[in-house]
Structure 1
Amino acid sequence: MTIDGDSESAEETEFEEYADLGATTGDAMDIAETSMDRVRELVPDETLGDRIRQKAVHATGDPEFQHLVRFSGAEESAVVREGARAVLEERPIVTDITMVKSGVTGRGHSCDLRKAIGNGAELAAETGMTRTAASVLELDKQGVYDEAIAVVGNAPTAALALADCIEDGTRPAAIVATPVGFVKAATSRERVREVAEEYGVPAITTVGRRGGSGLAAGLTNELVHVASDAREGTVDVETDATPAGAD
């Protein structure tokens, strides 16, 4: 006889892999698996970089989005490995706004998950800068972004502020930056790429105007999934190879 607690624990384990897709029932998991199978028909499935491109396509429903993903600060799969190692080391995950934070899975990691927005109100009032930019600067003043996974999914000014912080010496463990919009979005991601390359900070960004909170959360969740696979021995985050004996 299975007690309720054991049943709930088994269900959590069964659906943990697809937690970021919202799969909490058998039917939902079938949909999630079928969806990812179709994505793999459209996007190569050979490297850790490919996994990020697959997640970008899945999150946007657009096969062309695979061509808009950029990796900076290291070779593309090395960027993913660095992000996954940061998850394994339980580094904080710091998002720009609440929506991105809400989209990051709570399963498969023990990272402290927090948002920037809500900090720096006095700085925003004094300077006239956006609340998100002020929030990033305030948290950076507290040392929050050093060795953290910095995620920007909405606000271009947050990405620009983060780039300034890196130029001033802050070193996130990894960055996911996909702010969306017609004003400063593309240029803010370009700025993140520039400083990431210059200072060797692993960063995942996109080009163009498209992006958003769902995409940023999805890419962050894929770093969590790579870390989970590394924990289970099916992915080696030290190299791009699949461990011997793994499926």
Structure 2
Amino acid sequence: MGQSAIAYIEVSGRSIAYRLRSGQKPTLVFLPGYASDMEGTKALALDAFAEHAGLAMLRLDYSGTGSSNGDFKDGTLALWLEEALAAVDRLTKGPLVLVGSSMGGWIALHLALLRPERIRALVGIAAAPDFTDWGFADADTAERQGLARGFWESGQGLLLLDKPIEIDCPVRLLHGERDEEVPLDIAFRAMRAPRSADVQLNVLKGGGHRLSEPREIDAILHAVATLIEQPLEPAP
């Protein structure tokens, strides 16, 4: 069957590219990281899994990335969250399993707060909630290191780890032991923050930030398959 076709929705005047695979529920929703898109290794592996399992899946490119229009430097966490929420609300029905990579994990947590009745589970891959806070001393430092001031300011208004996160769904976090971009301490903070009692952190020995090696992809797919009780391979 292959990949689903690229289509577009308009969100506050921005044309947002997405791919939507039809199938059974729950719908998998992949949320890319900062400066990433829906065609990366993890997104394609998850899409292939969805195809084999007969599951619906949605993935999208935030404005200014991938096949969506706009200037990347104009992107903010609030804008990209708005786009992800619009895509979920307009393009899917029923229960969802959110899979967020790096910054996408931050967006996934916010989506779970905004649509708690729809989120069956959440998977964070090297999740980076609050990275404007712990990753940079201030806006000037962020700009010097290549992060737009607007994004930094937006992120500071959407911090989560400074208080309990009122999420009750199962949460699975996968994090590389040697992640040099998102310290392992952040993964432990992200594990402790949700209100849910069903939260697990899987630290992958020797893993970096990308978590795109075959064994790492297998760990991600296993986490998703377990949450939705689906086999990793198609039934004979």
TM-score exceeds 0.5: no
Using structure 2 for the length normalisation, give the TM-score: 0.42
Higher-RCO chain (CA-CA 8 Å, sequence separation at least 6): 1
Using structure 1 for the length normalisation, give the TM-score: 0.41
The structure whose residues are more often strand, as a share, is 2
Larger radius of gyration: 1
